[in-house]
Copies of this chain bind each other. A is one copy, B any other.
Amino acid sequence: MRIDVPEGSLFGPANLPYGVFSTPGTAPRVGVRVGDSVLDLAAALGDDVFAAPTLNPFMAQGHERWAEVRRRLTDLVSAEVPGEAVHAVADVTLHLPVEVADYVDFYASEHHASNLGRLFRPDAEPLTPNWKHLPAGYHGRAGTVVVSGTDVVRPRGQRKAPDEPSPVFGECRRLDIEAELGFVVGTGSALGSTVSTSDFASRVFGAVLVNDWSARDIQAWEYVPLGPFLGKSFATSVSPWVVPLAALGAARVPTPVQDPEPLPYLREREPWGLDIELAVTWNGEEVSRPPYREMYWSPAQMLAHLTVNGAATRTGDLYASGTISGPAKDQRGAFIELTWGGKEPVRVGGESRTFLLDGDEVSITATAPAADGTRLGFGEVRGRVLPSRDG
């Protein structure tokens, strides 16, 4: 059969993102999304590396193999494929596509970092002195990275208002999102070695959307001096489809001007970002359109920084950009910025809203220019807030 690609689909032959799916009674395995279909790669290509429940074994085969498989798939989807290898996307269950090794979250948007600086440290300069010299980042919890559609239980923890003498324990009252882009490392690097900015394309397999759920009240009380911990570690959602780096060539744009010039290990001949337009939807209503092209630090610079001290990387490492915020208010990728710390509510579903309530659902989507002149889509990353649980 030929796979039908509907007019205007964001999953045309110039995209071909990879995911892990199952159908009732079958084991999770690797598939590629084409239009509204999923192509079962183990069945279509007869290669057991795609029968695995994660993309890791395929990613570990390296970037020449990724290119070869993409060429075969490009040919295949314009020709006949065995009918039994094709499933309607509506009929499959999508799983976490990658076994996450280490998870790092950066802070690469100048607009976001400035906004959060003003909100968290109102008496200081918005950007810390190091911010324009290095892509600031921290390690997050790999074991709580979950696939889109996973419900998020409202976390509990300690919080303390500035005017209270001591902390109280309870449900998070300032539950927030962060709309981010995440990069998946395909082939690792050895302990004691580095990955230069020019090695980026041979190391990074693809990109996903990330929602870095954030408990702002827990975070504000805990984060000095060791950084975010329980305010973030309860859940990080990712989209089910990994868009290959090879599909994002037409989306390349220069980064904003970097001044001061970065140190040599962070330089690229032409530092490049990606013209990816995100959309954040809150209970079905679009509230923000964060533009990835505004990010100060490039994807290659983040990886070069992460490894400059000789830290090893592994297949399945995930590093995210940090919240994507543009200069305009309706381009902010976190509700704490959009509502200015809760002081400037937004209208959602006819109500005045600040942070997330139980039952709220947030969805993040994104599109980018594709090589064939169309636009390509990232899979949606969606999550619903469930009430806190005891014990």
Contacts and interface: CB of A to CB of B under 8 A. Distances in A.
Interface stretch (A22-30, A128-136, A277-285): A128-136
A233 interface: yes
Contact of A140 (B139, B146, B155): B139
A305 to B, nearest CB: 7
B227 A228 contact: yes
A227 B226 contact: yes
Interface string A4-32: 00000000000000000000000000000
B157 A230 contact: no
Contacts of A143: 101-102, 188, 311-314, 317
Interface stretch (A214-222, A288-296, A346-354): A214-222
A71 B169 CA distance: 41
A227 B225 contact: yes
A384 to B, nearest CB: 13
Contacts of A160: 129-130, 133
Given A134-B222, A230-B305, A146 B196 contact: no
A391 B130 contact: no
Taking residues whose C-beta sits less than 8 angstroms from the other chain, chain A's interface range is 35 or more
B192 A389 contact: yes
A70 interface: no
Which DSSP category, helix, strand, loop or mixed, fits chain A's interface? loop
Given A101-B142, A102-B143, A158-B134, A233 B167 contact: no
A61 interface: no
Interface in A151-201: 153, 155-158, 160, 166-169, 172, 188, 191-194, 196
Copies in the complex: 2
Interface string A107-151: 100000000010011000000111001101111111110100010
B227 A311 contact: no
Interface string A51-84: 0000000000000000000000000000000000
A169 B263 contact: yes
A312 B235 CA distance: 9
Contacts of A227: 138, 223, 225-228
Contacts of A155: 309-310
Interface of A: 101-102, 107, 117, 120-121, 128-130, 133-134, 136-144, 146, 150, 153, 155-158, 160, 166-169, 172, 188, 191-194, 196, 215, 218, 221-231, 233-235, 260, 263-265, 305-306, 308-314, 317, 386, 389, 391
5 tightest A-B CB contacts, nearest first:
A227-B227, A155-B309, A153-B192, A139-B139, A138-B226
20 contacts: A102-B142, A128-B225, A130-B222, A133-B160, A133-B167, A134-B167, A138-B139, A141-B311, A143-B188, A144-B312, A169-B263, A191-B234, A191-B235, A196-B391, A218-B309, A223-B227, A230-B308, A230-B311, A233-B309, A310-B389
